[in-house]
Amino acid sequence: MRKKLLRGEALSAVWHNRRRKIHPPPPASSPVIRVSNHIVQLGRQKEDPKPRQLLSLPPFPGHLLPGRNATSAAYVTAISWLRYYFSDIPPRVIQKHFNEGLVQIECLNNTSGLSGCYEGQAAPMRKIRPNDVMKVGGRVHVPVSIAESTVSKRFDVIPSATLYPNADEIEYLQRLVKYKDSAILVLNKPPKLPVKGTVSIHNSMDALAAASLSYNYNEGPKLVCRLDRESSGLLLMGRTQESISYLQWVFSDTKKTKSLSKDWNDACDATYQRYWALIIGSPKQKEGLICAPLTKIMLNDGKTERVVLAHNSGLEASQEAITEYRVLGPMINGCSWIELRPHTSRKHQLRVHCAEALGTPIVGDYIYGWFVHSRWKQLPRVDYEKTTGEAYKMRRPQGLDVQKGSVLSKVPLLHLHCREMVLPNIAKFMRHSRDDRADPEHDSERDLLRFVAPMPSHMKISWNLMSSYLV
């Protein structure tokens, strides 16, 4: 009897071991049945694509675009408007965004002829085709990826710092020239290059340009409008004394007396500059006009001068300062891209208006945003898309050195860039003032010139990092 029990226990143990090695098939999962629009479908619903971070273009002006011929002003299509605003972006990239249906336009009101638009409600969005004709006030939205660009491996700095420019410096300065005619020179100034030289500064822009950019003229070009040493972008120079007088008239803040001709007066009124900047935080209002006068004060050392907002007390000398601003997109990692259009030309006007009037200093501005930068941290922060509540995440493209002064470096450079400039065609008006007779060859020229400069390397890196996706 005992042997039978032992044999039974052994057989049960063997059978138990066999059962452990044989895994039963998983239970069949019941199919998910979904019903939508009275159609039954099997399987789980696929996740919707994540919304993209959108970039807002300014409202379509509706008149002749600066720098374009009058013959092309009958109507402007959507793709022409995007190519005009992003003239530094390859056309194939813009066409690709249209092909993928990523370009949208706001529906303003019922008068636009679109269904589902109600006055007083948040403007809905609809896709727009490349051949659709733009209407006055139409605001187009595109993903920020449309402005992504490649980043050069080297900094945009002057090769050396000598009193007399050598061959490398002359070649470097000539590469910065974006436009040249008989009256003006337009350059794309790199960051950290001083514009006006002093006794201790030899490689300033005015000294190098006077020695390197004469182009067989008796004298070198002279500066007309200036940029801060840390900022970058379009820099304007006059080649002759006559053209310098014209340009000083154009950029004068005083009321211009009407003279020359109606075309000249209209061209002067259409002159403007647009800057792109990366600010810490985001203004409460997405767009507006800053009317805050500025005054200069002397610090305790008696040598350092600062620009601050004037309090209109009557005890201090102040200058009128007006800046138009527009936020380009949502806040990512605690920072936002903003477009600035100064209506006056004051020293450090944009930096002071951003830091003190808006309370959002520019990244890399250690003079007027020193308090925020003293607590600067490179820790990634998560922000949320307002409409969907989804979280934005900053991406780091592979092979990109984020330490070249970008927003993620320990000591970022100033993120202020003069991107766009529109000014009268000085050479044409100078010829008209000398000779009143009509010249068909010169009359066909444009009254306005428009220039767009790509961002420097550190701002390109920050832009690519801020072109984030929703996770």
Q: Which among 77, 83, 59, 65 is positioned nearest to 136, based on CA atoms?
A: 59
Task: Report which secondary-structure segment, H or E, holds 287.
Answer: strand 287-291
% residues pLDDT > 90 (the chain): 22
Q: What is 398-447 written as a DSSP string?
A: TT--TTTTSTTSSSPPP-EEEEEEEEE-HHHHHHHHH--S--HHHHTS-S
> In this structure, are residues 369 and 361 in contact, taking their beta carbons and an 8 Å threshold?
yes
Average pLDDT, the chain: 77
pLDDT of residue 69: 62
Q: For 351-389, what is each residue's pLDDT tens digit?
A: 999 999 999 999 999 889 888 877 766 545 677 776 677
> In this structure, are residues 299 and 306 in contact, taking their beta carbons and an 8 Å threshold?
yes
Q: For 122-140, what is each residue's pLDDT tens digit?
A: 568 889 999 999 888 889 9
24 has a pLDDT exceeding 90 = no
What's the whole-number mean pLDDT along residues 61-85? 76
Which of the pair, 172 or 427, is modelled with greater confidence? 427
The structure's pTM equals 0.80
Token reading at 295: 């005054």
Residue 265: band (very low, low, confident or very high) from pLDDT cuts 50, 70, 90: confident
Phi, psi of 230 (to 5 degrees): -80, -20
Token reading at 440: 């068909």
Long-range contacts of 398-401 (CB under 8 A, 24+ apart): 400/151, 400/461, 400/464, 400/465, 401/461
pLDDT of residue 47: 61
Q: For 75-91, what is each residue's pLDDT tens digit?
A: 789 999 999 999 888 88
Residue 326: band (very low, low, confident or very high) from pLDDT cuts 50, 70, 90: very high
Active site residue 228: yes
8 has a pLDDT exceeding 70 = no
Q: For 95-116, what is each residue's pLDDT tens digit?
A: 999 998 889 998 765 443 333 3
Q: For 202-227, what is each residue's pLDDT tens digit?
A: 566 777 777 778 888 888 888 888 88
**What are the residues facing 319 on neighbouring strands?**
294
Under DSSP, is residue 183 helix (H, G, I), strand (E, B) or coil? coil
pLDDT of residue 120: 39
Residue 418: band (very low, low, confident or very high) from pLDDT cuts 50, 70, 90: very high
118 has a pLDDT exceeding 50 = no
Q: Which of 156, 206, 228, 383 is catalytic?
A: 228
For residue 219, the 8-state DSSP code is S
Which of the pair, 256 or 306, is modelled with greater confidence? 306
> In this structure, are residues 191 and 414 in contact, taking their beta carbons and an 8 Å threshold?
yes
Distance CA 237, CA 206 (A): 9
pLDDT of residue 119: 38
Q: Locate tokens 């390859």: which residue?
A: 90
Q: For 168-178, what is each residue's pLDDT tens digit?
A: 777 888 888 99
Angle (CA) 20 26 31, round 5°: 170
